[in-house]
Structure 1
Amino acid sequence: MRIIQLRNATIVIHSGPHHILVDPMLATKDALPALRLFDGKRLRNPTVELPQSAGAVLDEVTHCLITHCQKGHFDHLDRAGARWLRERQVPVICTPHDSEHLRQLGLNVLPLADGHAQPQPFLGGAIRTVRCRHGRGLVGAAMEHGVGYFIELPGEPSLYLSGDTVLTDDVRAFVRAHQPQVCVVPAGGARFDLGGEIIMGVDEVIELTRIAQGTVVANHMEAISHCPVTREQLREAASRDGVRVVAPADGETVTVLGDRDALRA
């Protein structure tokens, strides 16, 4: 299995003939609104361009997975991403909750069945959804929580895409019970002007890495203005704690061969 980090939460998973795009934010730098208004910067998003290799990577895409896309979550599906999917009519796998919204965008929608935790057929293997908690308290109550996905494909490491979530008891229990060989998790510590983190930050990623026996790949960093955690900060924290986290740069490929076994290219 190869995982190509494009930008933020946008990745492409390569498995045999299948090339699965996840949460496409394809806008050019500064094309989208700021997400922090009172920090004195008001940086527009995304804060960086897609890597130069993005066009060639996207040309190979055969399917798309959306973890969440409503209530203004343009960092997981923006207008450019929707237009790209619509023009190519790429099959888009999503939850029933998001299906009508995506159909209204003119996308080729293949919704999963209702119900969490039940495996469903997916590209010759199986997929199931895992509940997310996109923040806590009042901020969390206003968020679109979406789902993570647990994917098992023939001859490939099992893969948990956590979606946008803080580290909850549900996530801890799921990882302990299923021990995915690969976990892809958000690590940017995103927060708005008010309230706490709405995705995992350094401490929660390190805690999850202690729970997980497989490879932990961290993304959702250095691309959106409300995500303060950098890759270098995460690597330094992991080194201090004696754990290993893979934090690929935009455009970088991670090849996963097995538990705790990842090669970066």
Structure 2
Amino acid sequence: MEFTQIRNATVKISYAGKKILIDPWLAEKGAVPGFGGTINEHIRNPTAELPIPVKQIVDVDAVILTHDHPDHWDDTARNAIPKDMLFFVQHEKDAQAVRLAGFSNIRVLGESNDYEGITLIKTPGQHGKPRVLEDMKALLGEVSGVILKHPDEKTFYIAGDTVWCQAVEDSLKKYHPDIVVLNSCDAQVIGNESIIMGKQDIYEVYKAAPEATIIASHMEAVNHATLSRKELREFLNEKAMTQRVRVPEDGESYTF
């Protein structure tokens, strides 16, 4: 398999002969306002350019949308992706949003799903600690991750927009993924409440999955990111974690 970090949570993988795009956020740098109710909301999004042309990004066989948030799925993606593209979504509410954008080939992920011999397994996540979820339930909403399995490939786990929680720990124990992608910029809402993983969350995954290679995605592209690649790499060095944790630049690829 090949993994390519595009920007933010947008990644592209080649897996068992299929090209799959995950969470396509394709707007130009600074195209939209910062997210209200978050740290640094005055900074416009995205805060980084796309590293490769949109046409090349959307040249895929399928799209996985972990959840319908504006930094995972936007108007540029809706216009650039062919309307007959196969979409996998977490539930019927997100399916309806994709359908309303003019797409027709949509599959809601169940517990286990077959896609041309690839097994897709929806996993739960938690978009923040309990207190912030209670205060901002409508804004943060439901999120998911996904496991990909195939006899000829390593087991691949995209955790999605989640903090370290029981659901992530359970998925690691149940599926024993070889590759784990974590959204890792420690995005925060006002009040310094984290809504995705930061350094300590990554450390917990590292300890819980001692055989896995971990990839830190969702870095340095949104106004509410508080953890930089530089700071994360320094932390990884201090903890002697660099052998198993990778921090890709936008546009960087790995083959496994």
TM-score (norm 1): 0.87
* Corresponding residue SS for 1:100: helix
Deviation digits for residues 118-159 of structure 1, max 9, x if unmatched?
322123121111111001234323112221001102311100
Q: Gapped runs of 5+ residues in structure 2?
A: none
Deviation digits for residues 167-196 of structure 1, max 9, x if unmatched?
101211221232100001111000112351
Whole-angstrom CA distance in 2 between matches of 1:64 and 1:14: 12
Q: Which moved more, 1:132-141 or 1:229-238?
A: 132-141
The sequence identity of aligned pairs, in percent, is 29
2:154 corresponds to 1:148: no
CA separation of 1:38/1:149 partners in 2, compared to 1, >3 Å: closer, same or farther? closer
Deviation (angstroms), 1:210: 1.6
Deviation (angstroms), 1:90: 1.5
Q: Contact conserved, 1:134 with 1:199, CA < 8 A, in 2?
A: yes
2:234 corresponds to 1:241: no
Deviation (angstroms), 1:60: 3.0
CA separation of 1:2/1:170 partners in 2, compared to 1, >3 Å: closer, same or farther? same
4+ aligned runs moved over 6 Å, structure 1: none
Computed over aligned residues only, the root mean square deviation of the Cα atoms, in angstroms, reads: 1.9
Partner of 1:181: 178
Work out which of the residue numbers 227, 230, 234 in structure 2 matches 1:229.
227
- Give the residue type in structure 2 aligned to 1:100: Q
Whole-angstrom CA distance in 1 between matches of 2:79 and 2:16: 26
Deviation (angstroms), 1:211: 1.4
Q: Contact conserved, 1:152 with 1:159, CA < 8 A, in 2?
A: yes
CA separation of 1:40/1:243 partners in 2, compared to 1, >3 Å: closer, same or farther? closer
Partner of 2:91: 96
- Give the residue type in structure 1 aligned to 2:119: A
Whole-angstrom CA distance in 2 between matches of 1:89 and 1:123: 17
Whole-angstrom CA distance in 2 between matches of 1:76 and 1:194: 23
Q: Contact conserved, 1:102 with 1:109, CA < 8 A, in 2?
A: no
Deviation (angstroms), 1:22: 0.3
Q: Contact conserved, 1:36 with 1:226, CA < 8 A, in 2?
A: no
Work out which of the residue numbers 215, 219, 233 in structure 2 matches 1:217.
215
Partner of 2:60: 61
Q: Gapped runs of 5+ residues in structure 1?
A: 257-265
Name which structure has the greater RCO, CA cutoff 8 Å, separation 6+. 2
Partner of 1:21: 21
Q: Contact conserved, 1:221 with 1:231, CA < 8 A, in 2?
A: yes
Deviation digits for residues 197-250 of structure 1, max 9, x if unmatched?
000101111110121121101111100010111112111111111223111000
Partner of 1:82: 78
Whole-angstrom CA distance in 1 between matches of 2:183 and 2:248: 12
TM-score (norm 2): 0.90
Whole-angstrom CA distance in 1 between matches of 2:3 and 2:39: 34
Q: Contact conserved, 1:210 with 1:243, CA < 8 A, in 2?
A: no
